[in-house]
Structure 1
């Protein structure tokens, strides 16, 4: 599902389902995009001048739509690709679905998420995870993941994230230590992201629960 915003964030073209969401939000094609989370991603992509790929929720008239948004700069415009649409019952209260994603990730129950491009530079990161790395999402975006994390080898002497980047596969169990901020060992997992033409475009990931922490607490 595709759409396009002009330099003033107006939805100037869109496939029917996106037009329907815009209409249900009380707006129409030719007006500013009325879907706050998607608009926030588009503006971030325009600000950084790089494609951004992340999860969002759009509030419909009687349901919510969870989807993945790819926003890519194209001159003064932003090209939108909306994927993996999942329709869900409307959240309550409705206001919760209307705040930008950057605000929602500050909630205590939000997962610690991150995304990196094909060069392993950060394109999005939740505020909770950024705090553990001693940074903020605004500071981290556009910088190499390894600027904030020191990757550690597994028992086979491999770095799962780099192995996965080479093979274009998902990975789990990548141990990493923040270079500043928290001193705890983080365990990362990620799923490869592909561009529209099928090329590897990076990883969308989360922090896994660290299964080794209980053993580290034992007395020797």
Structure 2
């Protein structure tokens, strides 16, 4: 390789074990800033990948190159020339148009949004609060947060901080949300410490319309949940019991950490990164989210298939449940330009059921409608009276609908109606509708599907009137 050709930036020479034997000053300095020695193993990840590829394939490689030296971004055009074994079996490295540019820090808003996204991925407890920090709905993924979820259901519209013990804060509650964001808390049923995130909702952060509450565990869940003595000696009937009872609580936290770390890499919070590596990290984060959702489905599957499974009986306003479910999925809908319309008068369709399970069913139905309807379409959720002694809530979309044959199979366990090849959009387990129907039946109700008027699918959840 002629070192005088083109705009010379920096030259280096590696051996067959990818050790940098010699280098011009700029390349040698970058090697040291990346933690390497001269001579020593090439410590610049971006160059090392190119050198290994060129040496393995025996081909010259020429492509744009960028790296981070701890203070600034290094960029240029790298030419890698593999050498014959007689010449050492290494590579000549030439980086042309060597440039060192100061980093452009992300705006405060962009940085905050990335942190919020990471915290959402790792939170094991999430809730929606009104403008006065009163609970509207709370959902817990962690086994040791089940008691907190039950307490929230038993005390609707309670200020959230009354259900936890804030560490190091003794002032009268509720405090201004900025004083609580980042605080640490504990609550009954959990031995772990939890970091609090309060994310304001609405365009005016000085007067938020409400808040998104996230509780993020500072430690992994390691202690097993004590089994119910009444279940001792019960036959092992569920094929998912190993995952649902033993593995799901243990796997949930490591999976959440994988997602958080992948999101950190994808968002380039640790420094500049080539686009393809950022895309790889995004794929890892997406796969982690898919795995987390499957763990939740397997845990729910075990619950609904347990002999004698029963739900609580309480008054549930289906119009209120529809509004809350639509609020939870509002961001997902906006990302697809989908409009969620809720119809029904509060108090006119009150069922005897378990609110948490009704909300779970609606979130599954609305989430499916958003995913499989065309972008910029409308999903309508309607609460109304049904036949004598029954009330119902329907979810209608503007998608392709379901055929009579599909309607017969859509609630089968693991049924995906061929969506494995649906452009990669369906990343579900095929358990959501099966679980939803089992939950509906456990509440003495039913879950059915039919073609919506004007096209699309219409799912109907019927329950006993309260």
TM-score scaled to structure 2, two decimals? 0.22
Tell me which of the two structures has the higher relative contact order, counting C-alpha pairs closer than 8 angstroms and 6 or more residues apart. Answer: 1
Q: Going by fraction, where is strand more abundant, 1 or 2?
A: 1
Q: Going by fraction, where is helix more abundant, 1 or 2?
A: 2
Greater radius of gyration (CA): 2
TM-score scaled to structure 1, two decimals? 0.44
